[in-house]
Structure 1
Amino acid sequence: MDNYATFIDSIRGSIQREEFIKLSLGNYHGTEPYLKNIYVKPVLIKRQKKLSFVFRYKTKDITKNFDADMALLEIQGLLQVEGFRVATLFSETENLICELSKKGVWGIRTEKATAVVPKSLTHDKQKSRKLGQEHKTYLEELRLMDAEGKVYKNAQDKWKQINHYIEILSAMLQDLPTQDVLNVVDMGAGKGYLTFALYDYLVGQLNRQATVVGVEYREDLVELCNQIARKSQFDGLHFVQGTIEDYHPTNALNVLIALHACDTATDGAIAKGILNGADLIVVAPCCHKQIRREMERNKSKNELDFLLKHGIFMERQAEMVTDGLRALIMEYFGYQTKVFQFVSDTHTPKNVLVVGEKKTINPKRQQEILTKIAATKAYFGIDYHHLERLLAVK
């Protein structure tokens, strides 16, 4: 029996003997974008034993559950077809590592057991939160928690939103440059829920030195948030009164955030981030009026005009075209873009989150992008995109 077959047989045996603790797959060389690792562990779902597979991507986890026979087939496919080159079986007696060499030969070795047998296989566990749920001054001052650390019933949606926001950003924040002080600007900070949470996560969880500035037009909210920051002893967090257009960073930017900046204000925020060399730009756009007005005025004839005569479809299409062009323009300036679903609030339950990570600029790719932008504008009857003008894209 070769090493690979021995390894699969060992997995099967450990499951049958109930010695299987977990399995990890790594060194991925497949085609699935952003997939990094897969972790497998036994779980108990509705009194039935399953094997839970957690597919860990750069910015999210996807979980799939299989019975033992299907799980073994899945593992074999992941190793033989999908591109994982290292697998480690953790059992009660040993760690067994199976690895594919550069010559395409599976090797196998054993190490001393290191995994701890779980106390329970129950699958229904409370979802962990990046911010935890211990009492913190700012959470009490913002009326999210009481003094005992219990989230108020009417604040549950906001609490989920904050944690979802940090969950999405966590991997990207950890990849930021390891300089002494991280400089972050939150444009249109509002009451500061997400601004405070971001500062708390950077300083309290990642142990980074950070300066976070919340820019907000309403002076009463600026005063309130600064008071809460002082009470919370968040020395690196402060809020300033002003607009996106008027604010000019005093230090090199690492992160620029603008959530729910209306219509072209989102473009202003993106431009501010690009022109100041931000390593990470995060925007949640809303009110896509500028492109919609362009599309409605010119009424371009194309294969989609049967849809766009309906107002609701025109609105949705304008949103996608607006944000699609924003992503293209960001890519033109060397940003790798991603689009996520972002949980907002009870009035607008789901939003699009557009994220750009600064990479290198490829001149050939820039020309391809310019061609794509021009073709998209012509197809939908768009004379200009506001972000295009702000950045003088030609």
Structure 2
Amino acid sequence: MSQQHLDQFIARVGSSLNDKSFISLTLGNYKGAEDGLKNIYAKKIQIKREDKVSFTYRYKTKDIVKNYGVDEALTLIREKLQEGFRFGNLFTTSADYLLDTNKKGEFFLRESSPTSNKTPDTQHDKTKNRPISSQNKAYLTELNITDHEGKVFKNAQDKYRQINHYIDILSPLVKELPRKDVLKVVDMGSGKGYLTFALYDYLTNVTNRPAEVTGVEYRDDLVNLCNQIADKSAFGGLNFVQGTIEDYNQDDMNVLIALHACDTATDDAISKGITANADLIVVAPCCHKQIRREIEKNKTVNDVDFLTRHGIFMERQAEMVTDGIRALILEYFGYKTKVFQFISDAHTPKNVMIAAVKGKVSEAEREKILAKLQQAKSFFGVGTHHLEKIIGL
């Protein structure tokens, strides 16, 4: 009979989780072997639109929270009751169930009227006020980020967060730009256009700022796809063109963006922005091969060569030196620069962003920057940085 009552209790827990009548569960009167454990409290939550059961393990001096799938949770509840918990209290909207033990340690089940008929909010993921909403966005649907109801697909959650993080970074920079009749933006190496679409949407529909955004992409199929999506989205000021960063020219751009352009393609993009006197240049570099070859070729002896004899440290130093010199060159041309992490390295190791806002620089400051540039190159064994070569320094 004891086993039958335990089975019935577990069945009640399972059915309440499935029919959405579950409110909460408590396991108590612990007599097991685990030191300090007193109770387990369980509640139903949703994480990325999946039902989970959250267990709070209460000890004398701490709480530990773990989340489980429904089937795993049911198995654990049974195990915990068999391993030392002497009672379980299940609250549902239809009834309360108390699984208790008698003096012989046998389970018996009692049912009573429900304490409450309201289920708690199961949303574990807090709704965030994102700059790019998922609702009524044709381009997000066409790019397989959302379904037709505006719900973000589970496998696209990271991409959707990245898009919004990108806009969060750009929005304060864009707000500081001089007002133009039309803000002209060029996104070099736009790829499938996730971030290009989002930026155009943000500029025109959130900030109500007239904008012309051009995505430059080498692959014809992606150019055609993105132009089709732009048409479906009624984004009249958004256009994608086929070309390379090196060959594309636009003298009247206000904003130059190049995310994850490989190796010296980032330098080509920065050079285009400087030449066009762009108000804002934003790049997220990738593959710092040119400077690494310079460092390895020259084998300069310095105070950090004990690090660079290891390949992984050499790679990291090449990245820092490459981007540090890029920032110096931008400052030489009057840009105020910031170098920071773009996205978590859980998503990509290439996560450094350089943002440069056009300002002014005196000749005296330029001389200091040039001196610092030469010192850095000499110390690290760099003959020529590609950007200084193509920009004419």
Q: Normalising TM by the smaller chain, what interval?
A: 0.5 to 0.7
370 and 349 in structure 1: CA distance in 2 versus 1, 3 angstrom threshold: closer
Does the 8 A contact of 1:281 with 1:356 survive in 2?
yes
CA distance in 1 between partners of 2:355 and 2:281 (Å): 6
Q: How does 1:159-178 map to 2 (within 5 A)?
A: 159-178=160-179
Q: How does 1:41-190 map to 2 (within 5 A)?
A: 125-190=126-191
1:74-119 residue CA offsets vs partner (Å, 9 max, x unmatched): xxxxxxxxxxxxxxxxxxxxxxxxxxxxxxxxxxxxxxxxxxxxxx
Q: 1:318 Cα deviation (Å)? A: 0.3
Q: 1:135 Cα deviation (Å)? A: 2.5
> Which residue matches 1:207?
208
Does the 8 A contact of 2:286 with 2:350 survive in 1?
no
344 and 142 in structure 1: CA distance in 2 versus 1, 3 angstrom threshold: farther
> Which residue matches 1:51?
none
CA distance in 1 between partners of 2:157 and 2:268 (Å): 32
Secondary structure of residue in 2 paired with 1:327: helix
Q: Write the letter of the residue equivalent to 1:280.
A: L
CA distance in 2 between partners of 1:373 and 1:350 (Å): 24
> Which residue matches 2:367?
367
> Which residue matches 2:299?
299
Secondary structure of residue in 2 paired with 1:166: helix
Question: Which blocks of at least 5 consecutive residues in structure 1 are unaligned?
Answer: 1-122
Q: Write the letter of the residue equivalent to 1:199.
A: Y
Q: Write the letter of the residue equivalent to 1:270.
A: I
CA distance in 2 between partners of 1:239 and 1:346 (Å): 30
1:287-326 residue CA offsets vs partner (Å, 9 max, x unmatched): 0000000000111101100000000000000000000000
1:146-174 residue CA offsets vs partner (Å, 9 max, x unmatched): 01110001101111110010001110111
> Which residue matches 2:384?
384
Give me the TM-score of the superposition, normalised by structure 2.
Answer: 0.67
The structure with the largest alpha-carbon Rg is 2
CA distance in 1 between partners of 2:370 and 2:145 (Å): 46
Q: Identity of aligned pairs, percent?
A: 66
Q: How does 1:352-363 map to 2 (within 5 A)?
A: 352-363=352-363
> Which residue matches 2:252?
252
Q: How does 1:321-360 map to 2 (within 5 A)?
A: 321-343=321-343, 348=348, 351-360=351-360
CA RMSD of aligned residues (A): 1.7
Question: Which blocks of at least 5 consecutive residues in structure 2 are unaligned?
Answer: 1-123
Does the 8 A contact of 1:144 with 1:159 survive in 2?
yes
The runs of 4+ residues in structure 1 deviating greater than 3 Å are 344-347
Residues matched between the structures, number: 271
> Which residue matches 1:74?
none
CA distance in 1 between partners of 2:346 and 2:194 (Å): 15
Does the 8 A contact of 1:157 with 1:345 survive in 2?
no
Q: 1:133 Cα deviation (Å)? A: 2.6
Secondary structure of residue in 1 paired with 2:360: coil
> Which residue matches 1:319?
319
CA distance in 2 between partners of 1:349 and 1:320 (Å): 13
Does the 8 A contact of 1:161 with 1:345 survive in 2?
no
Q: Write the letter of the residue equivalent to 2:273.
A: G
